[in-house]
Every structure is written in C-alpha cells, then in structure tokens.
Amino acid sequence: MRAYGVNTGVGALADTVVDRASQSLLSRSIVLSHACGVGPLLAAREVRAIIAAGIANFAHGHSGVRREIVQHLAALLEHDCIPDVPSKGSAGYLVHNAHIALVLIGEGSAHLAGRRMSGREALAAIGLEPLVLGAKEGLSLVNGTACATGLTAVALSRAERLLDWADAIAALTLEAAGCQIAAFDAAVLALRPSAGIEKVGATLRARLQAAALSPPPSAGARRMRLAFVRCRMRMGVAHDVFDISARVVDQELASVTDNPAVSGTPEQPIVSSEAHAVAPALGQAADSLAIALAQLGAISERRMDRLVNPLVSGLPPFLASDAGSHSGFMIAQYTAAALSNENRRLAAPAAMDGGLTSGLQEDFLAHPTAAAGKLLAVIDNAEYILAIELMAAAQAQDFLAATAARAAGTDLVYQAVREHVSHYGDERPLNGDIEAVCSLIRETAPPL
C-alpha cells in the first residue's frame, strides 16, 4: 500500500516509492530540506505558541508519531528552550515547523538561558538525545497548521488586551473632548444588535459615570462630537470580529491538521489523504482581525488628531504648553498617521494571494501563516497609535484639570499613564515616552 509521506516522496514526488529501509532517511531529509526560512527570528513567545499548537495536534493521535516526539516538544517548553525560527518563508505552514523540528534531531540552533547553541547542545543541556525519526514523523513535524494557529493565538491574546485599552483610552479622550454621554445610552445602542457595540457602550458608560461631559460650544466641537459617535460604532465591530476569529482558532486547536491522517491499528493501519493542513478559515480569520484592528488604529489616530487640532479642540494648539516655541504633540500625530497608513497597507488580505508550488501539485495556498504575521505587525503598530492617543488624552486632561473633574473610571486611566510619563513640555525627546506608554499597553491590562 502506498501512503503519502510514509513510503512515498512528498509534494510533486508523491508518486516516487520509498522503500522501508529509506523511510527514516526520508523523514530526516524532509526536515532538513524544509528548513529554509529567512529573515529575523520569531520571538520566544511565538515559537512557544507554535510548539504548543503542534503538541495539541499530535495529542489527537492521528499523526502517526511516537510518544517521544511529543515528549521532546514538551521538554522544550518545560525548559524554555527556544528553537531559532526565521519569521519568513512559509507560503502555508511548512518552514517554521521544520526549524523547530531541526532541534529535535540535533540540528539547527536554539536559545537556552539567554545563550545561543546548536540543536544538539541544547538537547544535551536539557537532558535529551537527538531523535532518529521514523516513517512519516518528518512529514508530521513540518505539516499541519501549528505555525499559523500558534501565531494567531498569540495575536488574539495581544488583541484582546489592545481592545480593552482602546475602550479605556477612548473614554479618556471623549471626556477631554466634552462629548455627550447620551450618545452611549444602552437603548440607543441596542437599535443595532451587536455584542461588540453593547460591550463598548457599557464600558464607556462605566468609565464616564459622573463625568462632567457637556456639549462643546463651537460648531467645530459639534463636528467632533458626531465623529466620536461614528468611532464608537466601529470600535464595537472590532470586538465582534475578534470573537469570530477566536472561535476559528479554537476550532483549529480542536482539529487534526496534518496530512495524511493515520487511524486503524498497527496490524490494519488506515492512512487517509485529506486537505486538513490547508487552513483557509484560519487565514481569513487573521485577515479579518487585521482589518478590524487597522480600522481601530485609524479611529484612534483620528480621535487624537481632534485633540491636537486647534481648529476643533478648544485646547491649546497641539497640546503644547507654550504654542509657538513648543510643538507639543504636532509631530507625534504624524507618527500615528504614518503607522495608521502602514496598517492600511498591511490589511490587504493574504488569503487572496496566489502561488502554485511543487510542480503544480499544490495549486491552492491559503497563506494562513502570512496572514498571522501581518496581523501581528498590525497589532505592533496599533499599540503605538493607541499609546500616542493615550499620551495626548492625558495631556489634554492636564489642561482641563482646573475646570472639570475626571470621572473615577477615567481618572484610573489617567493615573496609570502618569505613573510612567509626566506632562510633556518639549523638554525631552518624545519617543521615549511613546515606548514607555506602549509597554504599559502591551504588558498590563487597563486599570479597573
């Protein structure tokens, strides 16, 4: 019986029979030849997530690998031994996985306790010997959607925190802009059924409770109020898209995702070729969330622009403490706009990319790994954009402190940012403040 990747070659070589004596060599060769990634290394958190998703896939028992494979992968996590995985090269799923598999067979390189070493040295340091792969194990190690699933899971974790901060920061900005709380009334929001809009509305009402919100006096300020109402609707949609994307990743983690699938018994094995390693739903989920978060960043940049814009803000121009000799947040808004524009380009869907590979054997590529990588890049930018808005909102609040008290919920947000950066008076480079506040958003939850 011929079984793809077990006793045949892979891809366009699927018709080439491999005898039993060469099947271990086939597995090793698959790992070595597929480890052709390029570019900067993935972060340790991302590599760990890929390994964890691979373990979940193998644990279903349909991959045809020995227990030792899973034990070695689990040991990498236990000892925080991080294989060096280049970030670029996977049209689908193969390359990143292969670089992890390299370490299991004593090849490649890894980082352990802050030191880079060969795969063989890394295994020895955690008390393991390199594996000699059996039939299909090489294919199983590079196959499946562990890479895209792990990266998208990391993105979801970061996006969840980002969404929470976006709502909290919006409340601080809305308060500084003097918006009307009636715009967030539950009955009004319920006219458009959306769990995300309902959640954002509830958060804003809780944050702004007892806030001294009032209609700004000028026509420009009225335009600001209408723009903020539109922004709130789109923020809710981002929550909805997040929930949908999370369900897709949960589904992926519950699935067998390598090809072929193995079942039956040792005496009567069943090897079933299928396409579960292709993950169009996962790619589309990552693409959708990237679009939603790119919009979220664009909304944040527009809110911040209205705080610094003297034509509509009613605040000191560009939130400068001495407009003219000081520029305040004028150029910080440029940075936010640049990052927002970059996110617009990154939001182009990877799932629509083409590409025929393996001598026409693979005529459809879903590009879930590329979609996950773009999503992570969008989140990087969105975190910076929101950090800049948070700084601008806190600066605006400083100018308003003598005339209006903050609500308890927004004061918590204000105090959190002021613990990391002080009022800006053009006396220091602004990029250090941006990095500090971005770390606050990236590493902690908004205060409640």
The closest alpha carbon to 300, from 412, 436, 398, 168, belongs to 168
Please give the pLDDT value at position 10: 55
Rounded to two decimals, the pTM is 0.90
Domain 11-143's class? mainly alpha
Averaged over 369-392, what is the pLDDT?
97
Count of alpha carbons within 13 angstroms of residue 179, beta-carbon side: 30
Same fold, 11-143 and 149-443: no
Task: Flag whether pLDDT at 155 surpasses 90.
Answer: yes
Best-predicted range by mean pLDDT (112-121, 272-281, 305-314): 112-121
**pLDDT class for 9, splitting at 50, 70, 90?**
low
Neighbours of 166 (CB within 10 A): 29
Enumerate helices (H) and strands (E) in the chain, giving the number of each. 15, 7
Please give the pLDDT value at position 179: 78
Ranges 218-222, 301-305, 306-310: which has the least confidence = 218-222
pLDDT tens, residue by residue, 74-109: 999 999 999 999 999 887 678 999 999 999 999 999
Radius of gyration from C-alpha coordinates of the chain: 26
Residues of the chain above pLDDT 90, percent: 68
Spell 203-220 as b/e; 16+ CB within 10 A means b: bbbebbeebebeebeeee
Catalytic residue list: 4
Segment 212-216 long-range contacts (CB within 8 Å, at least 24 positions apart): 212/404, 212/405, 213/174, 213/175, 213/178, 213/179, 213/180, 213/181, 214/178, 214/180, 215/178, 215/180, 216/177, 216/178, 216/314
Please give the Cα distance from 179 to 265 (Å, whole number). Answer: 67
Please give the pLDDT value at position 127: 98
* Secondary structure of residue 86 in the 3-state scheme: strand
Averaged over 151-161, what is the pLDDT?
98
Is the domain spanning 149-443 CATH 1.20.200.10? The answer is yes
Please give the Cα distance from 141 to 238 (Å, whole number). Answer: 35
- Amino acid found at 15: D
DSSP state for residue 444 in the 8-state scheme: S
Averaged over 3-27, what is the pLDDT?
62
Task: Flag whether pLDDT at 200 surpasses 60.
Answer: yes
The closest alpha carbon to 295, from 241, 224, 244, 217, belongs to 241
Ranges 140-144, 159-163, 361-365, 441-445: which has the least confidence = 361-365
Count of alpha carbons within 13 angstroms of residue 379, beta-carbon side: 29
Please give the Cα distance from 72 to 435 (Å, whole number). Answer: 37
Please give the pLDDT value at position 184: 83
Report domain extents, the chain.
11-143, 149-443
Ranges 134-138, 221-225, 327-331: which has the least confidence = 221-225
The closest alpha carbon to 65, from 143, 161, 159, 171, belongs to 143
CA distances from 46 to 38, 248, 254, 374 (A): 16, 18, 19, 14
Averaged over 139-144, what is the pLDDT?
91
Query: What are the structure tokens assigned to 143, written together?
Result: 């196959």
Please give the pLDDT value at position 221: 47
Neighbours of 344 (CB within 10 A): 15
Average pLDDT of the chain, as a whole number: 88
Please give the Cα distance from 42 to 38 (Å, whole number). Answer: 11
Averaged over 118-126, what is the pLDDT?
98
* Contact in structure between 132 and 24 (CB atoms under 8 Å): yes
71 or 268, which is more confident: 71
Neighbours of 47 (CB within 10 A): 27
Question: What end-to-end distance do the CA atoms of the chain give, in Å?
Answer: 62
pLDDT tens, residue by residue, 331-340: 999 999 999 9
